[in-house]
Structure 1
Amino acid sequence: MKTQYSLIKRTSLITLLITALFTTYSCANDDDNNSQPNISSKNIEIIPQPVSLEYGSQRIEMPSVVSISKDIPSTMQKLLEKSITDYKVASSINIEKNESAFISTKIDNSLSEEEYELDITQKSILITHSTQQGLLWGIQTLRQVLMQAESSTKGDFSIPTLSIKDTPKYAWRGFHIDLARHMFSLDYLKKVTDCLSLYKINKIQLHLTDDQGWRIEIKKHPNLTTVGGWRHFDEYDEECIKLSHTDASYTIDERYIRNGKEYGGFYTQDEIKDFVTFATSVGIEVIPEIDMPGHFSAAIKAYPELSCTGSSGWGEEFSYPVCAGKAKNHPFLYDILDEVMTLFPSKHFHIGADEVEKNNWKKCEDCQRLIAEENLMNVEGLENFFVNNINSYLNKREKSTMAWDDAFYKKEPQEMIYTYWRDWLPNQAGTITQAGFPVVFMEWGNFYLSATPSDEQLQSLYNFKFEPKFKGIVKSNILGFQACIWTEMIPNEQKLGHHLFPSIQAYTEVAWGTASNWDSFKKKMNWHLKHLTKEGFYVRTPDFIKK
């Protein structure tokens, strides 16, 4: 039996070898007949990983003149043109009718809002979508394919035939940047925004005000920027200056230094409008954050009457807040909200409402009078009353209010979107979602990218799971995720780049919902970091790439 089995095994092996040789020869002949190069073993490193990606058996040689469908909006055409031109994939580009274009589109209303399909065949490239947002994500994936085209000895470029079906698991894939501690030019913020769009991040939250500075022009109250927009170097500035003597990446951007000892500046309303227009053109919603009633020192420094004490200052843990008991403060705050709302078409408006120092309220006659009149019980009830007033004002203007999870008052919660960050309260997200309220998940431990970046932090972010730490979450009430950068120790573009990249690449696979294989992700990063460097970004090179 053993001898007979061995003979059958050898015969089968010979048959398989003959079949494989014939198949290889036939494919080679097919390639020769169709002038197609053989399929390369090198795959395209797409981030975030598509839900479904199947490679064909051949590659397609890029035409010297690439025609793009005129049905593709001009802003998206320019994105394709940039990738084709920067990577010299073709010698020229034409805009043609959809039916005759090399890169064409098709509408399929059965697809969801951000869903797309990308089909690259031997003759053409087709992007199927139901909305402009889905089309944009298909184009961003195609850009990554085109930028990784392989060149032959003749100078021709080819890409693999493939079929992609892709849609995000989470609708909210945000990025939060603190501009109060340290500023960045709007040209640089546009550049970052363009990069975020490439990786299918669809929201940016601008942290425009805090104790350390007021960064947005309010025409009705100019002292907010002329006074509140500047500070004498604080402890973090001094630490950055000290570290910069041995590490240039801590050098404070001199564009925001005045008199050698003050830091500050602000964005004009026209600059904000320009930035929002740009971000919108690349599919990103820009959400303003005006932090109140706490973290309001910059405004109180400019207008001291806003506080309970008539001055700015610091309590046991946090800064003096707006006096919630002074009725005359509300029109001032509404003025700010009104001007900011005109600049941001986003339906979302973030009011902060975190880390409110309430000791002044306990001693303030106005605050205590309001607590008694409205039967608010205590200063926690007063904070909720304040948040409710601001929330109602925004709702009447068709804005959806957002606040940090500190603002969740279990006794009488407000109808808002809560951004959960306090991971030392692991049940908080579960409590809020169980009460039926939507949450954007951005807990401190993984989604704050401000800590010293490391490979361990990167892997922890990539492998994030809700369980077992964050129990009881109603996942249908999780809108999605948000990565967050606080800039106390990030005073320039170089340092910001080190924190952003490659953390953003890991984050976007988590937010898109396709993070699954750490080893596979690591292999992707070599090309992406090279691309980012080519685009002029500073990046951190992980140890696994150095090796």
Structure 2
Amino acid sequence: MQKQILLIALMAFFIVPLSSQDLKIIPAPENLSIQKGNFVIPDRFTVNADEEFTSALNMFFNRVNQHGFSSEWKRSWFLCSPDLEIIKEPQIDNGNPEAYTLKITSKKIVLKAAGKSGVFYGLQTLSQVMLNQTSENTKNRTLPALTINDAPRYPWRGIMLDESRHFFGKEKVKELLDWMAFYKLNKFHWHLTDVQGWRVEIKKYPKLTTVGATGNLSDPDASAKFYSQDDIREILKYAQDRFIEVIPEIDMPGHATAANKAYPEFSGGGSEKYPEFTFNPGKEETYAFLTDILREVADLFPSEYIHLGGDEVHFGNHHWKNLPEVQELMKKENLKNLQEVEYYFINRMADSLTTMNKKLMGWDEIVNAQTPVEESVVMWWRHDKKDQLQKSLENGYTTILCPRIPLYFDFVQHESHESGRRWAGEYSTLKQILHFNEYFEETITEYNHLIPGIQANLWTETIDTPERLDYMTFPRIAALAEAAWSTNEKPDYQDFLNRLKPSLQLYKKAGISFFNPINPDSTPEIKGPAK
């Protein structure tokens, strides 16, 4: 015992003190200070924590053990001093459930939080502190004494994945959820229906998946790929354990081709470029059909939101003017043009959601439909239409910021890349994402009460393989997390790249096909299909 104490003392004496810059944490904590001393990482942690934190602790130890540690944990006996103590403290950051404090001394680690999510996020930070320790000798690893006080900038920190155009499957979604949790992202917007495929089982309408789930953007004849309701429940549980809310999107009245392939009686037609693109807004049967679908979706997903799309209807509503049912609807409801028909449809479906105790979420076109402000959330995506953002906010809509530039991850991320989207030559760089809040500082400051956060969108027109999905996501997901969580008003790009280095190593170990912004030539572009 005396030899062990002497060894620990000598280790503490010879360790070079760290600065806060040496701790490569993403997203950067709100406040971090380094103190004197070091905590020696034991092989077997004793933990003092309530039973409700067992799942979070298991995930924490699984994470660090995947990357070179071999730590176990057990609950400490009463009156024994633990290595790790977790304390619920309701007053932290005025009761913000996501806030936490982390204190490491030479004797133990203490994590305090107001809620379970705060404990979870504190453990994510602790895992990054541990994974910063690169010594090959796990017996001699230590943590610096430090104090972290942390809370997020935004309550909405999201990623959207489009699985209609290309389907990736349950394990890939879980992997994305794991990395979201690691970076403290908490909203997963799941784009499950569109032109190319219907990806969620609806028991009342089985042809939505037996017929509507066939094909994808690259191969119209591909076999049906979709998630059963049991699959959905499994993924929802996986997300819930990681404090991630899952918001389903069922696109309407446009982007409805896959559904119309399965049930053509509800089609409102389309255009030459976008055939069978819309639902028929003049048929009462259409509203019954869609309400039945949304009722199953509402029962399946616990989120208070269902996203109904509502975008780009003009791509394929040309045929409406020739439909007798639509002409009759226009007369009956005194609708002057097809745009007003579209707005009527959106409000009808919003009313249906209200009866299910759900709120409407939609793309920024729904602002023009004047849906109920208190029951609607707008996603502003058209970066070239800042007047639409202004209109949304001036009308009092809760508005999530997800503009194409820089938050569409299907856009090219480096000047040398050829595969992916550009907009008038612009693309989505890591640096732009990092500095997002600076670009929109004036709007965010003025309408802070209406902007809950930001979201990146992974459209998959040009993403057809898991490797390509990785390449377009990593490391931009880390910059997104930094912008969504960190309260640093003027982030330094070189500092961020320095803090990114451990993440790049983790990606490599995990088999992630990432882009290296520090050394682009080391990770050649993984190309996708032309849009």
TM-score range (shorter-chain normalised) is: 0.7 to 0.9
Aligned to 1:448: 408
- Residues 1:62 and 2:41 aligned together: yes
Equivalent-residue separation in structure 1 for 2:136 and 2:233 (angstroms):
45
Structural mapping, 1:165-244, within 5 Å: 165-231=149-215, 234=217, 237=218
Aligned to 1:520: 495
- Residues 1:541 and 2:516 aligned together: yes
Pick aligned residue for 1:385 from 339, 344, 348: 344
Change (3 A) 1:319 1:59: farther
Amino acid of the residue matched to residue 368 of structure 2? Y
Aligned to 2:82: 101
Aligned to 1:345: 302
Aligned to 2:527: none
Tell me if structure 1 keeps the 8 A contact 2:160–2:191: yes
Equivalent-residue separation in structure 1 for 2:127 and 2:13 (angstroms):
21
Structural mapping, 1:94-493, within 5 Å: 94-96=74-76, 100-111=81-92, 112-151=96-135, 155-231=139-215, 234=217, 237=218, 261-262=221-222, 264-309=224-269, 313-315=270-272, 320-357=277-314, 358-409=317-368, 415-454=375-414, 457-464=429-436, 465-467=438-440, 474-493=447-466
Tell me if structure 2 keeps the 8 A contact 1:431–1:473: no
Equivalent-residue separation in structure 1 for 2:344 and 2:353 (angstroms):
14
Aligned to 2:529: none
Aligned to 1:7: none
SS in 1 for 2:357: coil
What RMSD in Å do the two structures reach over aligned CA positions? Answer: 2.6
Q: Could you tell me how far 1:493 is from its partner in structure 2?
A: 1.1
Equivalent-residue separation in structure 1 for 2:109 and 2:76 (angstroms):
14
Q: Could you tell me how far 1:92 is from its partner in structure 2?
A: 3.4
Amino acid of the residue matched to residue 513 of structure 2? Y
Deviates more, 1:104-113 or 1:329-338: 104-113
Change (3 A) 1:371 1:170: same
Equivalent-residue separation in structure 1 for 2:137 and 2:232 (angstroms):
48
Q: Could you tell me how far 1:543 is from its partner in structure 2?
A: 3.9
Q: Could you tell me how far 1:88 is from its partner in structure 2?
A: 4.2
Amino acid of the residue matched to residue 412 of structure 2? T
Scaled by the length of structure 2, what TM-score is found?
Answer: 0.87
Equivalent-residue separation in structure 1 for 2:226 and 2:298 (angstroms):
17
Amino acid of the residue matched to residue 110 of structure 1? Q
Amino acid of the residue matched to residue 80 of structure 1? F
Equivalent-residue separation in structure 1 for 2:469 and 2:244 (angstroms):
20
Deviates more, 1:505-514 or 1:40-49: 40-49
Q: Could you tell me how far 1:381 is from its partner in structure 2?
A: 1.8
Q: Could you tell me how far 1:85 is from its partner in structure 2?
A: 2.4
Aligned to 1:16: none
Amino acid of the residue matched to residue 542 of structure 1? P
Amino acid of the residue matched to residue 42 of structure 2? P
Tell me if structure 2 keeps the 8 A contact 1:430–1:472: no
Amino acid of the residue matched to residue 502 of structure 2? W
SS in 1 for 2:406: helix
Tell me if structure 2 keeps the 8 A contact 1:39–1:57: no
Equivalent-residue separation in structure 2 for 1:83 and 1:411 (angstroms):
46
Equivalent-residue separation in structure 2 for 1:543 and 1:123 (angstroms):
37
SS in 2 for 1:57: strand
Equivalent-residue separation in structure 1 for 2:342 and 2:28 (angstroms):
43
SS in 2 for 1:291: strand
Tell me if structure 1 keeps the 8 A contact 2:347–2:371: no
Tell me if structure 2 keeps the 8 A contact 1:427–1:470: no
Tell me if structure 1 keeps the 8 A contact 2:367–2:392: yes
- Residues 1:530 and 2:487 aligned together: no
Equivalent-residue separation in structure 2 for 1:492 and 1:472 (angstroms):
39
Equivalent-residue separation in structure 1 for 2:231 and 2:293 (angstroms):
17
Scaled by the length of structure 1, what TM-score is found?
Answer: 0.84
SS in 1 for 2:386: coil
Deviates more, 1:207-216 or 1:30-39: 30-39
Tell me if structure 2 keeps the 8 A contact 1:292–1:353: yes
Q: Could you tell me how far 1:318 is from its partner in structure 2?
A: 7.6
Amino acid of the residue matched to residue 75 of structure 2? I
Q: Could you tell me how far 1:514 is from its partner in structure 2?
A: 3.5
Change (3 A) 1:411 1:58: closer
SS in 1 for 2:29: coil
Pick aligned residue for 2:471 from 465, 474, 498: 498
Change (3 A) 1:383 1:46: same
Amino acid of the residue matched to residue 494 of structure 2? D
User: Higher Cα Rg: structure 1 or 2?
Assistant: 1
Aligned to 1:251: none
Change (3 A) 1:97 1:140: farther
Could you tell me the percent identity over the aligned residues? 31
Change (3 A) 1:30 1:430: farther
SS in 1 for 2:202: coil
Aligned to 1:51: 30
Equivalent-residue separation in structure 1 for 2:71 and 2:312 (angstroms):
56
SS in 2 for 1:177: strand
Amino acid of the residue matched to residue 324 of structure 1? P
Equivalent-residue separation in structure 2 for 1:342 and 1:289 (angstroms):
14
Tell me if structure 1 keeps the 8 A contact 2:85–2:109: yes
Deviates more, 1:416-425 or 1:150-159: 150-159
Q: Could you tell me how far 1:176 is from its partner in structure 2?
A: 0.2
Equivalent-residue separation in structure 2 for 1:91 and 1:416 (angstroms):
46
Amino acid of the residue matched to residue 508 of structure 2? T
For structure 1, list consecutive stretches of 5 or more residues without a partner in the other structure.
Answer: 1-28, 239-256
Amino acid of the residue matched to residue 58 of structure 1? G
Pick aligned residue for 1:510 from 483, 486, 490: 483
Deviates more, 1:108-117 or 1:95-104: 95-104
Change (3 A) 1:459 1:359: same
SS in 1 for 2:188: strand
Equivalent-residue separation in structure 2 for 1:180 and 1:60 (angstroms):
49
Equivalent-residue separation in structure 2 for 1:154 and 1:370 (angstroms):
72
Offset from partner CA, 1:8-62 (integer Å, 9 cap, x none): xxxxxxxxxxxxxxxxxxxxx9994795542444722110000101011222211
Q: Could you tell me how far 1:315 is from its partner in structure 2?
A: 4.7
Equivalent-residue separation in structure 2 for 1:506 and 1:54 (angstroms):
23
